[in-house]
């Protein structure tokens, strides 16, 4: 219930934030390292613009990144591995990508988690259509979210601790990797440093025009600011560097857009 006061108003604290706060508390235990990089997305963006000019249909840039990510992780599955007990790693065959999908709800936009299952086995068009369909779905806050704050804090924290100990439960509920496209909410360059409990997380920030060298000449290119975050308990710097290079190659070549 809103309360209007002199010069300010008091509004209810969103119940979903309690789950997010508890999740972040557990995520801080991870030993994360972050690679801040720029990716030339000129070719991909031009292809998307040309498609819209021909057909009037706007293709999802996030779907394109997820397509490239699914392929890059499929090439090196340790990038989405999770520990099972002290002495084992679970390497899943399917790359399940958790991302945020924006919906219209009660006159305003909200972003909710959505998992693209087996992204490494789907085409760009299939992922694009899945995201567009998810955006049209009616969103209602689950009853569990309404009741979540009523649980004692130790019980809530125990849930998130247990969630992190069971790789198959993690996969079923939240996927194996995450993509956060904060750049779709603003403009300009810059990097986001996330708090995440995934072994691999990709944060897409803004796109900026900058000079670049192409075939020995300087051109104005479009560069995406991208942060790649990994759990250092599982991934070392060298595998991270190789994965980053592979992902950049796929994105810069426009992988999947011509299929």
> Is pLDDT larger for residue 106 or for residue 58?
58
Mean pLDDT of 185-193: 71
What pLDDT shows up at residue 185? 53
- pLDDT at residue 123 is higher than 80: yes
- pLDDT at residue 173 is higher than 80: yes
The answer to whether residue 80 sits within a structural domain is: yes
> Is pLDDT larger for residue 65 or for residue 29?
65
Q: Which residue has the tokens 């990144």?
A: 65
**H runs (alpha helix) in the chain:** 16-27, 42-55, 61-75, 124-136, 143-147, 153-165, 167-174, 237-252
Sign of CA dihedral 62, 66, 72, 73: positive
Q: Which residue has the tokens 């340790």?
A: 78
Of the candidate ranges 126-135, 146-155, 202-211, the one whose mean pLDDT is the lowest: 146-155
Q: Which two tokens stand for residue 199?
A: 């072994």
Q: How many domains does the chain have?
A: 1
CB 157 within 8 A of CB 88: no
Give the span between the Cα atoms of 82 and 14, in whole angstroms.
Answer: 31
Range of the domain at 46: 32-140+167-252
Residues near 67 by Cβ (< 8 Å), separated by ≥ 6? 119, 122, 123, 124, 127, 255, 256
What pLDDT shows up at residue 81? 95
The answer to whether residue 55 sits within a structural domain is: yes
**Band of residue 5 on the pLDDT scale cut at 50, 70, 90:** low
Give the span between the Cα atoms of 140 and 123, in whole angstroms.
Answer: 29
- pLDDT at residue 183 is higher than 80: no
8-state DSSP, 21: H
What pLDDT shows up at residue 219? 92
- pLDDT at residue 9 is higher than 90: no
What pLDDT shows up at residue 10? 84
Q: What is the CATH number of the domain that holds 133?
A: 3.30.559.10
Of 204, 254, 201, nearest in space to 38 by CA: 204
What pLDDT shows up at residue 4? 62
The answer to whether residue 23 sits within a structural domain is: no
- pLDDT at residue 31 is higher than 60: yes
The answer to whether residue 77 sits within a structural domain is: yes
The answer to whether residue 206 sits within a structural domain is: yes
Average pLDDT, the chain: 88
Residues near 182 by Cβ (< 8 Å), separated by ≥ 6? 192, 203, 204, 205
The answer to whether residue 129 sits within a structural domain is: yes
- pLDDT at residue 108 is higher than 70: no
The answer to whether residue 161 sits within a structural domain is: no
> Is pLDDT larger for residue 191 or for residue 62?
62
- pLDDT at residue 249 is higher than 90: yes
The answer to whether residue 6 sits within a structural domain is: no
Give the span between the Cα atoms of 204 and 41, in whole angstroms.
Answer: 12
Q: Which two tokens stand for residue 108?
A: 């305003």
**Band of residue 162 on the pLDDT scale cut at 50, 70, 90:** confident
**Band of residue 143 on the pLDDT scale cut at 50, 70, 90:** confident
**Backbone dihedral angles phi then psi of residue 36, each to the nearest 5 degrees:** -100, 120
- pLDDT at residue 102 is higher than 80: no
Distances (CA, A) of 241 to 35, 37, 80, 229, 230: 8, 11, 15, 11, 11
What pLDDT shows up at residue 141? 65
Does the reported pTM lie above 0.85?
yes
């Amino acid at each position: 219930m809103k309360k209007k006061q002199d010069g300010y108003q008091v509004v209810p604290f969103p119940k979903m934030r309690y789950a997010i706060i508890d999740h972040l508390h557990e995520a801080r235990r991870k030993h994360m390292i972050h690679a801040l990089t720029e990716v030339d997305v000129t070719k991909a963006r031009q292809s998307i613009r040309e498609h819209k000019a021909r057909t009037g249909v706007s293709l999802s840039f996030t779907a394109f990144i997820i397509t490239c990510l699914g392929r890059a992780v499929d090439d090196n599955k340790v990038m989405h591995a999770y520990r099972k007990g002290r002495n084992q790693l679970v390497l899943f065959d399917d790359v399940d990508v958790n991302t945020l999908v924006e919906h219209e709800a009660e006159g305003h936009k909200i972003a909710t988690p959505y998992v693209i299952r087996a992204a490494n086995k789907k085409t760009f068009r299939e992922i694009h259509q899945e995201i567009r369909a998810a955006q049209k779905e009616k969103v209602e806050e689950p009853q569990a979210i309404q009741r979540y704050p009523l649980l004692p804090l130790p019980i809530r924290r125990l849930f998130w601790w247990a969630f992190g100990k069971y790789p198959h439960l993690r996969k079923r509920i939240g996927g194996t990797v995450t993509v956060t496209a904060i750049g779709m909410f603003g403009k300009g360059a810059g990097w986001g440093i996330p708090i995440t409990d995934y072994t691999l997380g990709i944060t897409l920030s803004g796109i900026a025009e900058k000079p670049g060298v192409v075939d020995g000449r300087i051109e104005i290119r479009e560069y995406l600011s991208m942060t790649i975050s990994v759990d250092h308990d599982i991934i070392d710097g060298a595998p991270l560097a190789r994965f980053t290079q592979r992902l950049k190659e796929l994105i810069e070549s426009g992988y999947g857009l011509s299929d």
